[in-house]
A and B are shown apart, each in its own frame.
Chain A
């Protein structure tokens, strides 16, 4: 119970931190970008829209900063994230919803595949120590994981889309089509999404393989693995039920905590491929100085990471009976 409470506290504080960062940053930077943006708005849009923006930013020149803060918080709680400049006059919330499914689909799937595959390979690599495989594996993957995500994306784009022309040159789907649920469209989505997904898997899998291998090696030295051997259990059973199940636990927590980094990489990939997800949208927002959209995206991405961590926590609790007890 205490453990659950600590986690809840952690989630709440992180959420609060993200919200507050959103609020403080524009006000901290020299030139107060929030005000500047509002000035730009004023000339072009109706009074109503200006008021909406002020509400979204909590920026009422006549009120104290604390009042502004609370107004901002309450607006956000009601889902009012302001109006987007780049997609004017669509509200930020709606704009984000357009991009969300693409990112969840691409990044979500690719990351999970990379984690599962990487963990499995890492487990096998640790099990079969010795030989060339064991010596070459770490350096290979170390080097691969040091290569910037987006550069591998560029490379794949060059080779497979430009030279070999096996895959399209970017975007989520053929821009001449409408979004629909037909099989041909799904096929298009798949074709467009293949290279970005491959990029994410290739660059992130190395990390999972290595960490699982290292945890597994440590686990294999544990006494209970020795005991399992002493009892005459089959090697497969030992690898999965005794070593694997224990080795994966710190990895799950690690996976959750590193999601912030993983999503960053995925964003870079979206940008390379012009894939219409949250990352690409963030770039658009930055280029248009659309601060409201930027804030909304930042908040959403943080919330997404927190949700993923929550899921990882639940899975860990299911797999590890020790966490279910009160600490």
Chain B
């Protein structure tokens, strides 16, 4: 899958939150790569660290969260070492962010047009004519009449707001768009319509996308590769179709087994017993072992690495040493 140089390389990224009870690791040595034009989905339960990972990659963490170690190489440059001033030049031009709720992500006291203009002016585009033209262009790209440039966020419908956010994200045709559950705030119909639009835009413009969600079925139709996170670590990473057809990590199996299928015979619904661990005190060895139906002796003491198996990566001792 990864023929050309990846556009994003995350290596052993560690993110910690400072708390009264000592630092809590929200992201534990996560590594992944994204190829140009690829659609990578990241799924997991609430609290597994996927949003934190996303914001760490985008360098948008605020205290008490901070990147403790690791690399985030975007087009070859390590973003972790850049300071705010240096980052500002890269931001938005080459990678942009789409957030969960447009109502919260758009400034309520400025018009949509104002906010687009702010973004462009921040990157030394001051010609009003060009700003106007580009704003019109990008709004039409997502299917919104440019007259709404004069509207305030609360005057637009939910779906329109979300699309306006995407328009804003694409204003400089970046190479990478990072999306944090952009469809969660929408109803099912609007969700699908938005996803189709995103895929269409990706096809047209060619950006790579990282899409974080807890909605597995949604991402299964649209992503090229999928990463499954649990308790701050990547548990499985591989081609989406392969993963759905043959999940390897017991956690992935559990997740996929939680969904009833409309086709096929009726099967009993299997959940995953127990609950995710407290990140301040993760279990020893493999983090999933207390809930794992296939655990064996070493699981409680040995921390598994990501092992390669059939083109996918799995963090499970069952697959150690090419088992």
Q: Is the CB of A228 within 8 A of B155?
A: no
- Most chain B C-beta atoms within 10 Å of own C-beta, residue among A227, A234, A322: A227
Q: Determine if A42 is an interface residue (Cβ-Cβ < 8 Å).
A: no
A234 contact set on B, CB distance < 8 A: 88, 122
Complex Cα–Cα for A222 and B103 (A): 11
Write the A305-327 contact mask toward B (1 if CB under 8 angstroms, else 0).
00000000000000111100100
A231 to B122, CA, bound (A): 8
Asked whether A230 and B110 contact (CB < 8 A) given A224-B104, A321-B152, A325-B155, the answer is no
- Shortest C-beta distance, A232 to chain B (Å), equals 4
Q: With the chains together, A325 CA to B62 CA distance in Å?
A: 34
Considering the complex, which residues of chain A in the window 202-254 have a beta carbon less than 8 Å from any beta carbon of chain B?
Answer: 221-224, 226-235, 237, 241-242, 245-246, 249
User: Is the beta-carbon distance between A233 and B119 smaller than 8 angstroms?
Assistant: yes
Known A-B contacts A230-B96, A320-B109; A223 and B63 likewise in contact (beta carbons under 8 Å): no
Taking A227-B97, A320-B109 as contacts, is the C-beta distance between A233 and B118 under 8 angstroms?
yes
Interchain CB contact under 8 A, A322 and B152: yes
Contacts of B110 in A (CB 8 A): 241-242
Report A-chain residues with C-beta under 8 Å of the C-beta of B99: 223, 226-227
- Kindly state whether residue B101 has any CB partner on chain A within 8 Å: yes
B173 vs chain A, min Cβ distance (A): 15
Q: From known contacts A223-B101, A325-B155, infer whether A229 and B60 are also in contact, taking CB-CB under 8 Å.
A: yes
Which residues of A have CB within 8 Å of B122? Answer: 231-234, 237
Closest chain A CB from B75 CB (angstroms): 16
Which residues of A are found within 8 Å of B108, using beta-carbon distances? Answer: 224, 246, 320-322
Q: Counting CB contacts under 8 A, is B199 at the interface?
A: no
Minimal beta-carbon separation of A267 from chain B (angstroms) = 36
- Determine if B62 and A242 form an interchain contact, defined as CB atoms under 8 angstroms apart: no
Residues of B within 8 A of A223 (CB): 99-101, 104-105
Which B127-186 residues have C-beta < 8 A from chain A? Answer: 152, 154-155, 168
Q: Type the 1/0 row for B91-103, where 1 means its CB is closer than 8 Å to any CB of A.
A: 1110011011100
Given A226-B99, A232-B91: A221 and B109 within 8 A (CB)? Answer: no
Q: In the complex, what residues of B have CB within 8 A of residue A249's CB?
A: 109
**Residue A129 at the B interface, CB < 8 A?**
yes
Partner of A224, one of B60, B89, B107, B155: B107
Are A221 and B62 in contact, with the CB atoms below 8 A?
A: yes
Q: Are B107 and A226 in contact (CB under 8 A)?
A: no
Please name all residues of chain B whose beta carbon is closer than 8 Å to the beta carbon of A222 when the two chains form the complex.
Answer: 104
Q: Find out whether the CB atom of B154 lies under 8 angstroms from the CB atom of A231.
A: no
Once the chains bind, are A129 and B63 in contact (CB under 8 Å)? Answer: yes
Tell which of A224, A226, A242, A245 has the most Cβ of chain B within 10 Å: A224
Q: In the complex, how many angstroms separate the beta carbon of A248 from the nearest chain B beta carbon?
A: 10
- Chain A residue at smallest Cβ distance from B178: A230
Q: Say how far B158's CB is from chain A's closest CB, in angstroms.
A: 15
Least CB distance from A216 to B in Å reads 14
What's the nearest-Cβ distance from chain B to residue A218, in Å? 13
Chain B residues lying within 8 Å of A321, measured Cβ to Cβ, are 108-109, 152, 154
Do A232 and B101 touch (CB < 8 A)? Answer: no
- Measured in the bound complex, the distance between the Cα atoms of B108 and A246 in whole Å is 8
- Residue contact B118 to A227, C-beta cutoff 8 Å: no
In whole angstroms, how far apart are the Cα atoms of A205 and B90 in the complex?
Answer: 41
B58 in contact (CB, < 8 A) = yes
With the chains together, A227 CA to B171 CA distance in Å? 14
Contact A232 B88 (CB under 8 A): yes
Chain A residues numbered 92-150 whose CB sits less than 8 Å from any CB in chain B = 129-130
Q: Are A245 and B109 in contact, with the CB atoms below 8 A?
A: yes
B106 (CB) vs chain A CBs: closest residue: A224
Q: Residues of B contacting A228 with CB < 8 Å? A: 107, 118
Q: How far is the CA of A223 from the CA of B51 in the complex (A)?
A: 13
Question: What distance in Å separates the Cβ of B323 from its nearest Cβ neighbour in chain A?
Answer: 43
Residue contact B109 to A227, C-beta cutoff 8 Å? no
- In the complex, whether B123 has a CB less than 8 A from a CB of chain A is yes
Asked if B196 is at the interface of the complex by the 8 Å CB criterion, the answer is no
CB distance from B156 to the nearest CB of A (A): 12
> What's the least CB distance linking A13 to chain B, in Å?
29
By beta carbon, the residue of chain B nearest A130 is B63
**Is the C-beta of B87 less than 8 angstroms from some C-beta in chain A?**
yes
Within the complex, what minimum Cβ distance (angstroms) separates A142 from chain B?
23
Contact (A325, B88) CB under 8 Å given A230-B96, A246-B107:
no
Question: In the complex, what distance in Å separates the CA atom of A246 from the CA atom of B122?
Answer: 20
Smallest CB separation, A326 vs chain B (Å): 12
Residues 53-79 of B at the A interface (beta carbon under 8 Å) = 55, 58, 60, 62-63
Known: A227-B97, A322-B152. Contact between A237 and B105, CB under 8 A? Answer: no
How many Å lie between the Cα of A316 and that of B107 in the bound state?
Answer: 16
Name the residue on A nearest B109 (C-beta): A245
Q: Contact between B107 and A231 (Cβ–Cβ < 8 Å)?
A: no
Q: Which of A130, A231, A246, A325 sits near B92, CB closer than 8 Å?
A: A231
Complex Cα distance, B93 from A232, in Å, reads: 9
Given contacts A230-B91, A231-B118, A233-B119, contact A322 B107 (CB under 8 A): no
Beyond contacts A224-B106, A227-B106, A229-B91: 16 other A-B pairs, Cβ-Cβ < 8 A, are A221-B62, A223-B99, A223-B104, A228-B118, A230-B91, A230-B97, A231-B96, A232-B89, A232-B93, A232-B119, A233-B122, A234-B88, A241-B107, A241-B110, A321-B108, A325-B155
**Which residues from chain B sit less than 8 Å from chain A, CB to CB?**
55, 58, 60, 62-63, 84, 87-93, 96-97, 99-101, 104-110, 118-119, 122-123, 152, 154-155, 168
A contacts, CB < 8 Å to B: 129-130, 221-224, 226-235, 237, 241-242, 245-246, 249, 319-322, 325
A-B contact pairs, 21 of them (CB 8 A): A129-B63, A224-B108, A226-B55, A226-B60, A226-B99, A226-B105, A227-B99, A227-B107, A229-B60, A230-B60, A230-B97, A231-B122, A232-B89, A232-B92, A234-B122, A241-B110, A249-B109, A320-B109, A321-B108, A322-B152, A325-B154
3 A-B pairs closest in CB distance: A232-B91, A223-B104, A232-B88
